[in-house]
A and B are shown apart, each in its own frame.
Chain A
Amino acid sequence: GNSVTQMEGPVTLSEEAFLTINCTYTATGYPSLFWYVQYPGEGLQLLLKATKADDKGSNKGFEATYRKETTSFHLEKGSVQVSDSAVYFCALSANAGKSTFGDGTTLTVKP
């Protein structure tokens, strides 16, 4: 079956530090890949997505590239802010809208 493995957290960074959250996946077929973010007390919000190999998704300074050869979709941001503190979920969607989520990585950014 499909699976997503995320870098274990929690991750604590100082403001303006570089962020990487690793995500690798196992899937049959050609899944789409997503990063969602969840702020405390809220639902998930789409951060970015990529639907085919070598696509780069980007939004709000975050980027991730769909790497089929390494089955990875690592999230990066060059300079994090306190407001980026949240839980980040990597997810894949392979068929019929059935998404598989990673366990989530909690990011805390300190001023």
Chain B
Amino acid sequence: DTEVTQTPKHLVMGMTNKKSLKCEQHMGHRAMYWYKQKAKKPPELMFVYSYEKLSINESVPSRFSPECPNSSLLNLHLHALQPEDSALYLCASSREAGETYEQYFGPGTRLTVT
């Protein structure tokens, strides 16, 4: 199984809502990532978890809160978002957080903030 799954596929939320994005992998990977991708742009790294510990936070606003409950699951909690946060949110995983390991991406959650 080389699949990374993400739910939901689409999410529309108001600026006062609280919602969560979920990501799951069963490849035994010990590194997991959140990216934000705007239309016609490359993915921008938000967070990296290595062995369930947050190892990289790319100065992401606190309205985005990641959580890694176990080695297979990654959540992104959203609160008080702005319209400019509307984007495709991609989850990825890799065997470890090292330079030689390719990342496996999920299909993404298309988020619209109204």
Which residues of A are interface residues toward B (Cβ below 8 A)?
30-32, 34, 36, 41-46, 49, 51, 89, 93-99, 101-104, 106
Contact = CB atoms under 8 A, between A and B. Distances in A.
A102 B31 contact: no
B97 A96 contact: yes
Q: Label chain A's interface by main secondary structure.
A: strand
Given A96-B56, A97-B31, A98-B45, A44 B98 contact: no
B48 A103 contact: no
B8 to A, nearest CB: 14
16 contacts: A32-B100, A42-B107, A46-B104, A51-B99, A51-B100, A93-B99, A96-B50, A96-B56, A96-B97, A97-B31, A97-B33, A97-B55, A97-B101, A99-B45, A103-B41, A103-B42
A43 B108 contact: yes
A6 to B, nearest CB: 9
Interface in B55-112: 55-56, 90, 92, 94, 96-108
A49 B103 CA distance: 11
Contacts, number: 70
A41 B106 CA distance: 11
Contacts of B90: 43-44
Nearest to A89: B42
A104 B108 contact: no
B105 A45 contact: yes
B104 A32 contact: no
B43 interface: yes
B102 A97 contact: no
B107 A97 contact: no
